[in-house]
């Protein structure tokens, strides 16, 4: 495996705007050397991104990567304030199954489906358009135990794909939701959904349910919809996603609401016309969230830029959120 610098996203070098990857990496390095803006009370991890936290059996589990982004790690802890100091156990690459060549692992997610643990992630290969999504299946019954590599999630319309997550309906049907390109060039990242026949097998072609269309989704180029996450309550289903360039101050969260009927019909999803979580005067680029309920309180856990113009220097933050009278989430503003 060749040496690399994390966040050195070579395949985007010619496309990212309004600055190059080299310029973004310089901003990132500068920001890490400067004090962060914003109140640090709610910071869980001082240097981190793409958080994934799940509650199970009275414990919390944090699925992440090592700082070189070459290992999938899972930490166990009791309270959110312990997240940064929890011991991280490497679960992949492991002893089971094959290990493909890769340069980085992106945005792993740990999910419990039908009593088994699964981890989903993208592999980055520093080749234009080569990123794809993969699945691990737990074989020990414990989030920090052994996993078997199940390989790539094979989608009939095979295109660049990252940020995969699973949506499970009350009747047990599984759907896969992710961010991908429409074609073979990086002009826009859209949100796609497909039906699954089991937790590692796609059983339909993809359907686009969101593409960047509002100005708040189109800050920076290419235009971005990514990081979709499923949020459910009282039978209602929402997909909260990240919009605009992750390297910009304007990275934010948008929301899709499921209206009923066919999940694979784009008309079954309504997009909110405004972001549901966006920057403040001191906290910039809030995005790539996950949601966890702790002691009957719902939390949004997300990453935000260390300061304005911070590139990819990010912190993991958390805050409680409430629900509106119509049953939709109300995240308030970043803290």
Domain membership of residue 4 (yes or no) is: no
Whether 298 is covered by a domain: the verdict is: yes
Task: Give domain status of residue 41, yes or no.
Answer: yes
Residue 335 is assigned to a structural domain of this protein? no
Q: Does residue 1 sit within a domain?
A: no
50 catalytically annotated: yes
In terms of residue numbers, what domain contains 106? 10-330
Asked if 235 and 213 count as a contact pair (C-beta separation under 8 A), the reply is no
Catalytic residue from among 49, 104, 217, 226: 226
Q: Tell me the CA distances in angstroms from 7 to 10, 28, 69, 260, 325, one per residue in order.
A: 9, 9, 9, 39, 41
* Length of the chain as a residue count: 335
Residue written as token pair 């896969």: 176
Per-residue model confidence as pLDDT tens for the chain (335 residues) = 345 555 545 444 446 778 888 899 999 999 999 999 999 999 999 999 999 999 999 999 999 999 999 999 999 999 999 999 999 999 999 887 788 999 999 999 999 999 999 999 999 987 878 999 999 999 999 999 999 999 999 999 999 999 999 999 999 999 999 999 999 988 899 999 999 999 999 999 999 999 999 999 999 999 999 999 999 999 999 999 999 999 999 999 999 999 999 999 999 999 999 999 999 999 999 999 999 999 999 999 999 999 999 999 999 999 999 999 999 999 999 99
CATH code of the domain in which 166 resides: 2.115.10.20
Using omega within 30 degrees of 0 as the cis cutoff, is the peptide bond preceding 18 cis?
yes
- What's the number of domains the chain is made of? 1
Question: Is residue 102 situated within a structural domain?
Answer: yes
Is 286 a member of any domain? yes
Domain annotation covers residue 297: yes
Which one from 49, 50, 109, 137 is the annotated catalytic residue? 50
Please check whether residue 122 is in contact with residue 162, taking contact to mean a CB–CB distance below 8 angstroms: yes
């Amino acid at each position: 495996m060749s040496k690399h610098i994390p966040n050195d996203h070579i395949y985007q070098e010619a496309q990212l705007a309004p600055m190059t990857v080299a310029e973004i990496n310089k901003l990132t390095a500068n920001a890490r050397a400067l004090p962060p803006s914003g109140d640090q009370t709610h910071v869980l991890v001082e240097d981190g991104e793409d958080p994934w936290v799940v509650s199970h059996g009275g414990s919390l589990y944090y699925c992440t990567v090592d700082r070189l982004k070459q290992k999938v790690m899972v930490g166990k802890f009791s309270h959110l304030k312990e997240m940064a100091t929890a011991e991280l156990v490497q679960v992949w690459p492991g002893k089971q199954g094959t290990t493909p060549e890769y340069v980085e692992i992106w945005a792993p997610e740990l999910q419990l489906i039908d009593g088994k643990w699964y981890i989903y992630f993208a592999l980055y290969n520093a080749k234009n358009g080569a990123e794809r999504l993969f699945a691990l299946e737990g074989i020990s019954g414990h989030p920090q135990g052994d996993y078997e590599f199940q390989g790539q999630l094979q989608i009939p319309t095979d295109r660049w794909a990252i940020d995969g997550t699973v949506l499970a309906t009350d009747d047990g049907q599984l759907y896969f939701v992710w961010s991908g390109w429409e074609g073979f060039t990086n002009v826009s990242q859209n949100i796609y959904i497909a039906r699954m026949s089991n937790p590692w097998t796609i059983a339909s072609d993809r359907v686009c349910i969101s593409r960047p269309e509002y100005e708040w989704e189109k800050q920076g180029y290419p235009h971005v919809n990514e990081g979709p996450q499923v949020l459910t309550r009282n039978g209602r289903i929402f997909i909260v996603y990240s919009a605009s360039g992750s390297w910009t101050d304007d990275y934010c969260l948008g929301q899709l609401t499921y209206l009923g009927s066919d999940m694979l019909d784009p008309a079954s999803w309504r997009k909110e016309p405004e972001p549901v979580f966006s920057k403040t005067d001191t906290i910039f680029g809030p995005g790539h969230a996950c949601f966890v309920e702790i002691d009957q309180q719902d939390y949004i856990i997300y990453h935000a830029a260390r300061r304005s113009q911070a590139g990819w220097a990010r912190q993991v933050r958390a805050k409680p959120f409430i629900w509106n009278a119509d049953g939709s989430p109300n995240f308030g503003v970043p803290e």
